[in-house]
């Protein structure tokens, strides 16, 4: 059996790493088309623009906000007119995914510079395409990973804590999904089974966020870079990225995709919805009570959602959850990488079970607090 493991060309992380960006981009040519999300362009870009321009010519464009086909078309036209030698995306996951799609369209090298650690998108060869309204449409595999991933943890530490926590939610799924794919001999993003390396990195991702997640959250609240923050940023970005792409996806991300069918969840972050998908998958796959307790405890400790109400679905009907379940179980979805058959009824039951357990634990904790 042939395995495949895929990596970004270069990964750089640390406080002040943004100062290295110009030199790194100059390796790809004299001029770079830079796609920035609005927050970066309005608040951060001025801090490092002059250092960047000393080493490479740039053309800068504001990201429209959604990784959609119309936005990719618009930016590809602009980048082509700018006659640049590379593409760079600076900002959140959708900005980075759009930069990857534009680079693929124009056959140019791509650098991704996440300013938050909220997803494992930066290192991957994928772009997740949404409708302009924000509903999941499809995942596009570009066949190559970014040439450069650069993460300045000093910038990450200044971002809202909720974004770091969302990244832990995305990372939380990595080991469970890679383990399911390993048991099923299911294909990873490269179309092969995962390697020993991929599965070991997926497990390291899980162990790292469980051990350092709370400490990293505290560091982010204080807006400082600590060893715990560095470890969790690496887990959210590199370990989770390598683990999911080379280990494979399963139920958690399919349930996330299903949840996007319901408008109330659109205001919540990717990792928050993936955390709900992970919790539901624990019931789907019959995980032991000890492990379920461990995962709920972690989510509670860092502030990830443990009920449907926490992602805007309080009082959701079974009809709506069936829409979610049917989308999660669509042909070709990663839920079919689970080692047992999964039906929409199973997904609906898993979502109801995770919600009930989350409510039970919340009620028990409230009761204990009142007793004190």
Give the CATH number of the domain where residue 257 resides: 1.20.1090.10
Q: Give strand pairing partners of 139.
A: 128
Place of tokens 């009907």: 317
| Residue 267 is assigned to a structural domain of this protein | yes
Q: 372 falls in which pLDDT band (50, 70, 90)?
A: low
Q: Please check whether residues 207 and 126 belong to one and the same domain.
A: no
| Residue 81 is assigned to a structural domain of this protein | yes
pTM: 0.92
Q: Is residue 368 pLDDT above 80, yes or no?
A: no
Q: Please check whether residues 97 and 208 belong to one and the same domain.
A: no
CATH number of the domain where residue 27 is located? 3.40.50.1970
The pLDDT mean for the chain works out to 95
Return the closest-CA partner of residue 307 out of 354, 340, 256: 354
- Tell me which residues are annotated as active site: 170, 253, 256, 270
Please give the residue range of the domain that contains residue 270: 161-365
DSSP assignment, residue 133? Answer: T
Residues 27-39, mean pLDDT to the nearest whole number? 96
| Residue 343 is assigned to a structural domain of this protein | yes
Return the closest-CA partner of residue 359 out of 311, 315, 309, 321: 309
| Residue 313 is assigned to a structural domain of this protein | yes
For the segment 92-132, what is each residue's pLDDT rounded down to a tens digit? 989 999 999 999 999 999 999 999 999 888 999 999 999 99
| The domain boundary residue, chosen from 124, 156, 188 | 156
Identify the pLDDT of residue 271. 96
| Residue 3 is assigned to a structural domain of this protein | no
User: What does the block give as tokens for 293?
Assistant: 């307790």
Residues 133-156, mean pLDDT to the nearest whole number? 93
């Amino acid at each position: 059996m042939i395995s495949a493991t895929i990596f970004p060309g270069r990964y750089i992380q640390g406080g002040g790493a943004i100062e290295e960006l110009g030199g790194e981009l100059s390796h790809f040519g004299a001029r770079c088309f830079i796609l920035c999300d609005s927050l970066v362009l309005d608040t951060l870009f001025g801090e490092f623009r002059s250092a960047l321009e000393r080493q490479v010519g740039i053309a800068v464009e504001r990201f429209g906000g959604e990784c959609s086909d119309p936005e990719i078309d618009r930016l590809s036209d602009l980048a082509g007119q700018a006659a640049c030698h590379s593409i760079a995306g600076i900002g959140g996951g959708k900005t980075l995914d759009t930069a990857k799609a534009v680079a693929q369209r124009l056959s140019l090298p791509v650098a991704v510079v996440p300013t938050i650690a909220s997803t494992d998108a930066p290192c991957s060869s994928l772009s997740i395409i949404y409708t302009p309204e924000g509903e999941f449409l499809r995942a596009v595999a570009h066949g190559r990973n970014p040439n450069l991933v650069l993460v300045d943890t000093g910038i990450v530490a200044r971002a809202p804590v909720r974004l770091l926590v969302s990244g832990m939610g995305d990372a939380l799924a990595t080991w469970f999904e890679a383990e399911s794919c390993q048991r099923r001999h299911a294909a990873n993003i490269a179309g092969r089974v995962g390697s020993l390396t991929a599965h070991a990195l997926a497990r390291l991702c899980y162990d790292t966020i469980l051990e350092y997640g709370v400490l990293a959250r505290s560091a982010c609240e204080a807006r400082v870079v600590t060893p715990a923050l560095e470890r969790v940023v690496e887990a959210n970005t590199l370990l989770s990225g390598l683990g999911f792409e080379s280990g494979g996806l399963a139920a958690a991300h399919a349930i996330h995709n299903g949840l996007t069918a319901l408008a109330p969840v659109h205001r919540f972050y990717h990792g928050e919805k993936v955390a709900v998908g992970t919790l539901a998958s624990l019931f789907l796959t019959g995980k032991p009570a000890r492990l379920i307790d461990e995962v709920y405890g972690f989510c509670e400790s860092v502030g990830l959602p443990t009920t449907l109400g926490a992602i805007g679905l309080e009082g959701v009907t079974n009809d709506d959850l069936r829409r979610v379940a049917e989308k999660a179980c669509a042909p070709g979805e990663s839920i079919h990488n689970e080692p047992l058959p999964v039906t929409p009824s199973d997904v609906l039951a898993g979502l109801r079970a995770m919600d009930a357990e989350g409510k039970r634990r919340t009620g028990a904790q409230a009761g204990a607090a009142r007793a004190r």
